[in-house]
Structure 1
Amino acid sequence: MTEWLYQLAPSPTLLLLIVLLVALCESLAVIGLLVPGVVLLTATASLAGHQHLSLPLLLAAAFVGAVIGDGLSFWLGHRQRERVHRLWPFTRHPEWLARGIMFFKRYGDFSILIGRFVGPVRPIVPMVAGMLNMPAWRFAAVNIASALLWAPVYLLPGYLLGHSWDKLLALPSSGERWLIALGLMLIILGVGFSWLRHQLGRGGWVYMRLARLSRETPRRRRLWLALSGAHPRNEIPLASLALLVGSLVALCGWTLWVLEHGNPSLPMDRQIRTLLASLTNSWLQTASNIMALIGDMLGIIALTLPWLAWLLFSRRIAAFLHISSALVGGGFANLIFKHLAGRIRPDTPDYLTGSFSYPSAHTSTSIVLIGLAAAFTAEALPAKRRMWVYWGATLACLPMALSRLVLGVHWTSDLIGGALLGLVVCAITRLSYQRFEHRPLTPCPWGWLTVASLALLTTRIIWLPHI
């Protein structure tokens, strides 16, 4: 199969040209909205890594394309500032331009840097900067600095994947069925959760059907009114209720099954551990070690401290108390489950001595943190866009969970138990939060808070490893 990939791959020179053009188009005004740049860059970077193409050359091609694309957008906005709003597609979608203008006015020069990493405004902000007469020298400085950061962030994951492709393809025959089963399970659960959450929300088919059934008898009507009356928007939070019931039942059943099979593990756990042992390489170990630092207590504090401080000082007390309680309560629940199960880890490094395996605290904590962030974000979005937030949260949680398997400190069943426990905590938190009137979480200085979180997290990773 590797020989087949080599035959399909373009020449190194053509690959560099493709990367440059994709980076340029993705940064170009309007066109960047239509080009699936992330997918194309990841694919070409993977081919480049597979061919062992020079990484500095690859990053340089992406850097040059991004600088030229933003530069052309800036020039267009500067030259056509009076006519931009009359050009297609802004005649049909004036909100695109309005969103870019509002974003630029809110963050100023910093919007060029943030815009590199934010899909909907990425190709609009440089043009808006030209329209609003940002000095060319200042734009050029921010453009170059942001492109230097953007190129490795977008290309390195694909390049590393392609560079390790040979090893990833050399799977033991016994592991193929587990990979297929896990992949199908994740897809089915993800699609099922998205569909069910939409149907149980206000306006969904299931919600509307239940509402109609409630009007058929006086008793049902009184029950429905009582339940919906407890909610500030006269809406029964069916999605959160269903998540709580489903995840709690699954957690209890899964935990009993794990305990019934005793130590050290299930047959599934041992086979998947053997599979992952054959895939272990240096960059996977390094990435997993970084994930371990991000997901422990100090890492979570570093990530959440700026956000919790903002919630507290902006007097959004309900959100502050619920998120804090969810993280602390989830931590205590993990300790209780670990001591009740008393399950031995597959491997116990010094910093985990005395800690049991089931459930995975890293997995449950990441689901609580990312899941609540997704829920609060989705709350402020139109119903049609909420699905993408939850899919993004799911994809963000996967690396944290899988890194525990790569490090060999958890069994696969530990991750499933941790995920279910995290979902239970998320559901309880959302049900409690939805019972109260509360201030909206927007507007929020999310750009500055993100930078502060990443700065604290970087400090924690570099100077405070495993303490």
Structure 2
Amino acid sequence: MHVQEWLDTVPAAAVYAVVGLVIGLESLGIPLPGEIVLVSAALLSSQHGGVNPVILGACASAGAVIGDSIGYAIGRKGGRPLLAWLGRKFPRHFSEGHVATAERSFQKWGMWAVFFGRFVALLRIFAGPLAGVLRMPYWKFLIANVLGGIIWAGGTTAVIYYVGVVAESWLKRFSWLGLVAAVLIGVASMLVVKRKAKQAQTAPQEAEPEPVAAAE
């Protein structure tokens, strides 16, 4: 079952909770499809009156900020051994190459890596734990974390919601245009068929030779 189809079967409060929880766990460092869940829920809110996009964006933002903060605390306490353990548990996401790439980004960009990392799938998982491992000052991390989380979660929700509303409105208009076009095509086809049938009936009569007069 598709994520959006599953979300459509649960109450609105559960949708908010699932979105906040999944994004929070992803931000904490667990590789989960947070962005897919958020996009699916935002599309659902554009089609489902029970899901409020403002509450959805707030829950997503809260999950992002809280999850990243917990990940920072875990990374600060666990240090390098934590990254090694994550590499063994999730080699696809926390391989040595990925860790090295993320670490270079943090060393080069500092708190900007936390901010912009929110918009990149790989760095979104790394941001909190790696900032803690590298012992980035918490106030810097917190500013970048809050701004990045709110802009990413709230912005994604708003964009997808309005895209869904516009698309639904366009599809409704398209359905009426399609109906009119179908009727016109049907009428035109019927007229063409009747004309062809009439031509087929008159053609043998025109082609029939005149009877030859009997010889005297």
TM-score, L = length of structure 1 = 0.33
Measured in 2, the distance between the counterparts of 1:85 and 1:59 equals 31
Deviation at 1:173, TM superposition (A): 6.2
Q: Which has the higher contact order (CA 8 A, sep 6+)?
A: 2
Distance apart, 1:167 and its partner CA: 2.5
In structure 2, distance between residues paired with 1:59 and 1:105? 31
- Which aligned pairs between 1:366-377 and structure 2 lie closer than 5 A? none
Structure 2 distance, partners of 1:175, 1:28, is 48
Give deviations 1:1-50, integer Å, cap 9, x for gaps. xxxx8x94422211111221222133221x23xx2322221111111222
Which digits, 9 at most, give the CA deviation of each residue in 1:252-306, with x for residues without a partner? xxxxxxxxxxxxxxxxxxxxxxxxxxxxxxxxxxxxxxxxxxxxxxxxxxxxxxx
In structure 2, the residue matched to 1:67 is 65
Alignment of structure 1 residues 251-330 onto 2, 5 Å: none
Retained in 2: the 8 A contact 1:80–1:131? yes
1:83 Cα shift?
0.9
What amino acid maps onto 2:28 in structure 1?
Answer: L
Q: 1:12 aligns to what?
A: 12
Is the counterpart of residue 142 in structure 1 residue 178 in structure 2? no
What residue number does 1:131 align with? 133
Q: Do the aligned residues in 1 keep the contact of 2:23 with 2:35 (CA within 8 Å)?
A: no
Tell whether 2:41 aligns with 1:44: yes
1:220 — aligned with what? none
SS in structure 1 at match of 2:79: coil
2:123 aligned partner: 121
Change (3 A) 1:25 1:172: same
Change (3 A) 1:73 1:136: same
Query: Within 2, Cα distance between the matches of 1:166 and 1:85?
Result: 45
Evaluate the alpha carbon distance shift between residue 117 and residue 45 of structure 1 in structure 2; reply closer, same or farther with a 3 A threshold: same
> Quick check: 1:113–1:146 contact (8 Å CA) kept in 2?
yes
Corresponding residue for residue 22 of structure 1:
22
Q: State the partner residue of 1:172.
A: 175
Q: Helix, strand or coil for the counterpart of 2:10?
A: coil
1:58 aligned counterpart, secondary structure:
helix
Query: For 1:52-96, what per-residue CA distance to the aligned partner results, in whole angstroms no more than 9, with x for missing partners?
Result: 333321111011000111112111110100412320325842112
Corresponding residue for residue 83 of structure 2:
85
Distance across 1 between alignment mates of 2:35 and 2:129: 21
> Match of 1:184?
none
Take 2:128 and 2:107, find their aligned partners in 1: how far apart are those partners?
12
| Bigger-Rg structure (1/2) | 2
Amino acid across the alignment from 1:46: L
State the AA in 1 paired with 2:101.
R
| Counterpart Cα distance in 2 of 1:146 and 1:43 | 20
- Which structure is higher in helix share? 2
Q: Tell me how large the CA RMSD over aligned residues is.
A: 2.6
After superposition, give the CA deviation of every residue in 1:188-212 in whole Å (9 maximum; x if it has no partner).
xxxxxxxxxxxxxxxxxxxxxxxxx
Paired residue for 2:106, among 104, 107, 114?
104
2:27·2:127 contact (CA, 8 Å) conserved in 1? no
Stretch of structure 1 that moved more, 103-112 or 137-146? 137-146
TM-score (norm 2): 0.68
Residue 53 of structure 2 corresponds to which residue in structure 1?
55
Distance 2:46 2:141 in 1: 32
Structure 1 segments of 4+ aligned residues over 6 angstroms from their partners: none
Cα drift, residue 164 of structure 1: 4.6
**Alpha-carbon offset, residue 166 of structure 1:** 4.7
Q: Distance in 1 between matches of 2:159 and 2:112?
A: 25
Is the partner of 2:136 in helix, strand or coil?
Answer: coil
Aligned residue among 157, 160, 168 for 1:158:
160
Q: Which amino acid letter does the alignment assign opposite residue 120 of structure 1? A: L
Q: 1:144 to 1:39 in 2, by over 3 A?
A: same
Cα 1:51/1:174, change in 2 over 3 Å: closer
Q: Deviations over 1:338-389 (max 9, x none)?
A: xxxxxxxxxxxxxxxxxxxxxxxxxxxxxxxxxxxxxxxxxxxxxxxxxxxx
Output one character per residue of 1:202-230: Cα deviation in whole Å (capped at 9) or x when no partner: xxxxxxxxxxxxxxxxxxxxxxxxxxxxx
